[in-house]
Amino acid sequence: MISVRFLRLLLLVGLVGLLGSCSSLYFPPPPQVPLLTQKGEWSGNIHTNFSQNTSIQGAYAATNHLGVMGSVSFLHSDKKKRAEDHDFGEVGIGYYTRIRDTRVLELYGGYGFGNTRRIERTPSEGITRTLEGDLTKYFVQANYTSKERKTYHVLGRDWPVSYGTALRMSYVQLDNFRLDNAAHAPEDNVFLEPITYTRVQLVGPVQFQVISGSNFGLRHRKYLKAANAVFQFGLIVNLGGQAGDK
């Protein structure tokens, strides 16, 4: 079982990493945690964060143990010192199973692709540097609902709250890399993304979810590094699943 104190600590780590991040051309989408339980179940969600990194995700249980999932994420921001454009898509397939009625274990592997672009500038000089390239990603991921469902009575009603964990390992390549429109050496990196999530039941199958965690780069890179933490909040819907907490 994950303690609330531990969840708060990971949330703080995620916020600190987000606010104090250095420049990186990789913005990780949140690991998808559909928690499928039976054939025909569908899961969908939308998440964002304070950096405007937004993800739309969906998953479907094709058989009683085979799940497929896909997602698109995008970030388009224009600030005084820089403009960011990042578009990315992922597809995955994997195995899921129910454990002791109230827990779910999922194992997925997948592929992702997209492009990224950043324009850096200063008020006095204008545009000082432009970086852009194509991203390719291969990942494996494990989701596990090691949680106890609790209910809190607030504002005159009960709010069921649940917790879970996920760990993703990704190999990411930055190809066709161009620095100020000149070809630059490509980069690659291996990222570990451990996260925890907290879900609050709102109404029916709709839940509010907060994802917090970290992003670790196993290789030293200048442009493709683990500088953007995994922190997202949004809504998630599961339809057609088995009865019981999950």
Average pLDDT of the residues of the chain: 87
pLDDT at position 123 is 80
For the stretch 97-111, pLDDT in tens is: 988 777 889 999 999
Low-confidence winner among 126-135, 203-212, 220-229 (lowest mean pLDDT):
220-229
Indicate whether 228 pLDDT > 90. no
Say how far residue 96 (Cα) sits from the centre of its chain. 19
Indicate whether 15 pLDDT > 50. no
The full set of domain ranges for the chain reads: 4-239
Mean pLDDT of 235-243: 85
pLDDT at position 13 is 43
Q: Which helix (H) or strand (E) holds 222?
A: none
Query: In terms of pLDDT, which residue wins out, 28 or 244?
Result: 28
| C-beta of residue 178 within 8 angstroms of C-beta of residue 230 | no
CA distances (Å), origin 157, targets 150, 151, 161, 237:
13, 10, 13, 20
Q: Structure tokens of 48?
A: 């964002």
pLDDT at position 32 is 92
Query: In terms of pLDDT, which residue wins out, 24 or 6?
Result: 24
| C-beta of residue 164 within 8 angstroms of C-beta of residue 197 | yes
Q: Structure tokens of 230?
A: 């995994």
For the stretch 137-161, pLDDT in tens is: 999 999 998 545 788 888 888 898 9
For the stretch 153-199, pLDDT in tens is: 888 888 989 889 999 999 999 999 999 999 999 999 999 999 999 99
pLDDT at position 243 is 61
CA distances (Å), origin 141, targets 30, 87, 133, 223:
11, 21, 25, 24
For the stretch 41-56, pLDDT in tens is: 999 999 999 888 999 9
Indicate whether 10 pLDDT > 50. no
CB atoms inside a 10 Å sphere around CB 182 = 8
Mean pLDDT of 210-214: 92
Strands of the chain (E only): list them. 42-48, 54-61, 66-78, 82-99, 103-122, 126-144, 150-154, 157-179, 182-183, 187-203, 206-213, 216-217, 231-239
Q: Structure tokens of 115?
A: 């492009």
Binned at pLDDT 50, 70 and 90, residue 38 comes out as: very high
Q: Could you give the 3-state DSSP secondary structure of residue 12?
A: helix
**Quick one: what percent of the chain has pLDDT higher than 70?**
88
Kindly report the pTM of this predicted structure. Answer: 0.85
Range 4-239: architecture per CATH: Beta Barrel (2.40)
Collect contacts of 147-150 with beta carbons under 8 A, ≥24 apart.
147/1, 147/2, 147/103, 148/1, 149/102, 149/245
